[in-house]
Amino acid sequence: MHDLLSINLKRVRALFRMDLHRMFHGKAFYVMVGIAVFIPVMMLTQMSGEKDIMMFIGGEGNMAGSFGAGMSLSMLNILTGMLLSIYIGREYTTGFVKNIITAHANKYDYIISKGLIALICNVIFMAVYLVTLFALGMIMGVSAEVPSIVGLALYILEKLLLSIPMSLLMIAINLVFRHSFGWSIVFICIAATGIIPISLQMGLSMLGFGSLAGVLNFTISGASSFATLTPNILSLFVIIGITVVWSLLCSLAGDCLMNQRDVL
Amino acid sequence: MDAITTKNLSKSFKGKYAVKSLDMHVPEGSIYGFIGENGAGKSTTQKMICGLLRPTDGEIQLFGRPASDAEVHARMGVLIENPGVYMGWTAKENLLLQALNIGIENPEKTVAEALEAVGLSDTGKKKVKEFSLGMKQRLGIAAAFIGNPDLLILDEPINGLDPEGIREIRQTLHRLNQERNVTILISSHILGELSKISTHYGIIKNGCMVKEISAENLSRECRDYMRIRVAEPEKVLSCLRQHIEMDSSEILDGEIHLFNARDGAAVNQCMFLNGHVVSEISFHQLDLEEYFMKLMGGEQSA
Ligand SMILES: Nc1ncnc2c1ncn2[C@@H]1O[C@H](COP(=O)(O)OP(=O)(O)OP(=O)(O)O)[C@@H](O)[C@H]1O
Ligand SMILES: [Mg+2]
Q: Tell me the percentage of chain B whose pLDDT exceeds 90.
A: 52
Q: Are residues B231 and B110 in the same domain?
A: no
Q: Which value does ipTM take for this structure?
A: 0.88
Q: What is the mean pLDDT of residues B252-257?
A: 86
Asked, for residue B295, whether it belongs to a domain, the answer is no
Q: Are residues B158 and B262 in the same domain?
A: no
Q: Domain total for chain B? A: 2
B81 close to ligand 1 (CB < 6 Angstrom): no
pLDDT value of position A72: 64
* pLDDT of the residue at A62: 40
Which region among A95-104, B28-37, B154-163, B258-267 has the lowest average model confidence (pLDDT)? B258-267
**Do B214 and B228 share a structural domain?**
no
Same domain, B58 and B194: yes
Considering the domain architecture, whether residues B7 and B79 belong to the same structural domain is answered as: yes
Same structural domain for residues B166 and B84? yes
Query: B64-91, pLDDT tens digit by residue?
Result: 999 888 889 889 999 998 899 999 999 9
pLDDT for residue B302 is more than 90: no
Instruction: Please indicate, yes or no, whether residues B189 and B51 belong to a single structural domain of this protein.
Output: yes
Of the candidates A54, A260, A17, the one whose C-alpha atom is nearest the C-alpha of residue A156 is A54
Q: Where are the domains of chain A?
A: 2-260
Please indicate, yes or no, if residue B299 is contained in any of the structural domains. Answer: no
CATH number at residue B92: 3.40.50.300
Q: What is the CATH number of the domain that holds B277?
A: 3.30.70.260
Q: Give yes or no: residues B276 and B210 share one domain.
A: no
Confidence class of residue A67 from pLDDT cuts 50, 70 and 90? Answer: very low
* B82 and B201 part of one domain: yes
The parent domain of residue B279 ranges over: 223-285
Residues 109-128 of A with CB under 8 A from B: 109
- Residue A43: pLDDT band (50, 70, 90) is confident
B26 and B173 fall within a common domain: yes
Task: Specify if B55 maps to a domain.
Answer: yes
Average pLDDT, chain B: 89
In a domain, B301, yes or no: no
pTM above 0.90, yes or no: no
Q: Do residues B51 and B173 both lie within one domain?
A: yes
Do B7 and B138 fall within a single domain? yes
**A chain contacts of residue B93, beta-carbon cutoff 8 Å:** 25
* pLDDT number for residue B5: 96
Residue A225: partners with Cβ closer than 8 Å, 6 or more residues away: A61, A62, A63, A66, A217
Name the DSSP letter for residue A207: T
pLDDT band at A61 (very low <50, low <70, confident <90, very high): very low
Considering A81-95, B184-198, B230-244, the range whose residues carry the highest mean pLDDT is A81-95
For ligand 1, atom 12, the nearest C-alpha belongs to B18
**Is the CB of B102 less than 8 angstroms away from the CB of A10?**
no
Q: Is the pLDDT of residue B301 over 80?
A: no
Q: Is the CB of B82 under 6 A from ligand 1?
A: no
